[in-house]
């Protein structure tokens, strides 16, 4: 029994050190689709239709494998207030039979009065800013781009994971091949870590659980 519990605890604590869960589903990158080779006649002209790109065109991601810069500007604020109150009043009168009136009196009465009031207020505010390069992983039939990307930053003994995915309208891609995160549909933006601080919290919870079961 002790051996099996120890093995289970070791597996649980080892899992705490793995990569954190993600809300971004699917691949976070894609390779460019290789072009289909087409035999073109060698006409000797400078202009070739299959390699032409306008000189003054701002290069923007539009094909699978292209990269787009996402400017993350996520800010959320939520306020919640609640108030409740209750009042209850009651009275009870009991008549005493004749032989007992001399001891208790003609009637016994009780009254109760309960008042209850409660109020609560909650405020949450979050801000997430930054820049992340994402890859076009799919081009939808209507021309919209499905993008996804991930950035991993290792600092000391922990790793930070920044992931984003969603659908981009090519018309919202501005100068510098960038698009704000607020213009991405079905956006999934997350910031996760697997630092020792997070693992210490989970380890403490697991330790309390096993110590509550085992007397040693």
Model pTM?
Answer: 0.59
pLDDT value at residue 208: 62
Same-domain pairing of 152 and 197: yes
pLDDT value at residue 48: 66
Residue 144's nearest CA partner among 183, 190, 182 is: 183
Same-domain pairing of 116 and 138: no
Q: Please count the structural domains in the chain.
A: 2
For residue 88, being part of any structural domain is answered with yes
pLDDT value at residue 144: 94
Last residue of a domain, one of 97, 120, 143: 120
Same-domain pairing of 197 and 102: no
Distances (CA, A) of 127 to 93, 130, 180, 191: 62, 10, 14, 11
pLDDT value at residue 155: 79
Same-domain pairing of 114 and 202: no
Q: Are 88 and 114 in contact (CB under 8 A)?
A: yes
Same-domain pairing of 151 and 199: yes
Domain that holds residue 112: 82-120
Q: Are 147 and 181 in contact (CB under 8 A)?
A: no
Q: Whole-number mean pLDDT of the chain?
A: 75
For residue 6, being part of any structural domain is answered with no
For residue 68, being part of any structural domain is answered with yes
Residue 185's nearest CA partner among 162, 163, 169 is: 169
Beta strand ranges found along the chain (DSSP E) = 67-95, 107-139, 145-155, 158-168, 178-180, 185-193
Phi, psi torsion values for 202, nearest 5 degrees:
-70, -35
pLDDT value at residue 122: 82
Same-domain pairing of 133 and 194: yes
State which residues of the chain have pLDDT below 70.
1-20, 36-42, 44-45, 48-57, 90-111, 195-216
Q: Among all chains, which residue has been given the structure tokens 């005493």?
A: 96
pLDDT value at residue 5: 46
DSSP of 74-96, one letter per residue?
A: EEEEEEEEEEEEEEEEEEEEEEP
**Tens digit of pLDDT for each residue in 144-170?**
999 999 998 887 778 888 899 999 999
pLDDT value at residue 27: 81
**Tens digit of pLDDT for each residue in 62-76?**
889 999 999 998 888
For residue 24, being part of any structural domain is answered with no
Same-domain pairing of 88 and 194: no
Same-domain pairing of 49 and 150: yes
Same-domain pairing of 168 and 68: yes
Tokens coding 174:
């501005």
Residue 173's nearest CA partner among 149, 144, 150 is: 144
């Amino acid at each position: 029994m002790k051996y099996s519990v120890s093995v289970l605890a070791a597996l649980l604590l080892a899992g705490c050190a793995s990569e954190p869960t993600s809300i971004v589903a699917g691949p976070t990158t894609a390779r460019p689709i290789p072009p289909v080779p087409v035999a073109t006649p060698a006409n000797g002209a400078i202009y070739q239709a299959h390699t032409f790109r306008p000189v003054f065109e701002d290069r923007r991601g539009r094909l699978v494998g292209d990269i787009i810069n996402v400017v993350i500007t996520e800010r959320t604020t939520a306020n919640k207030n609640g108030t409740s109150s209750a009042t209850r009043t009651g009275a009870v009168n009991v008549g005493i039979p004749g032989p007992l009136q001399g001891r208790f009196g003609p009637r016994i009465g009780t009254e109760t009065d309960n008042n209850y009031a409660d109020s609560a207020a909650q405020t949450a505010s979050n801000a997430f800013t930054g820049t992340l390069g994402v890859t076009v992983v799919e081009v939808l039939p209507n021309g919209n781009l499905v993008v996804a990307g991930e950035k991993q930053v290792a600092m000391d003994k922990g790793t930070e994971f920044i992931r984003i995915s969603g659908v981009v309208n090519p018309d919202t891609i501005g100068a510098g091949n960038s698009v704000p995160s607020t213009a991405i549909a079905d956006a999934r933006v997350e910031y996760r870590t697997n630092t020792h601080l997070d693992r210490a919290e989970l380890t403490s919870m697991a330790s309390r659980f096993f110590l509550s079961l085992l007397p040693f």
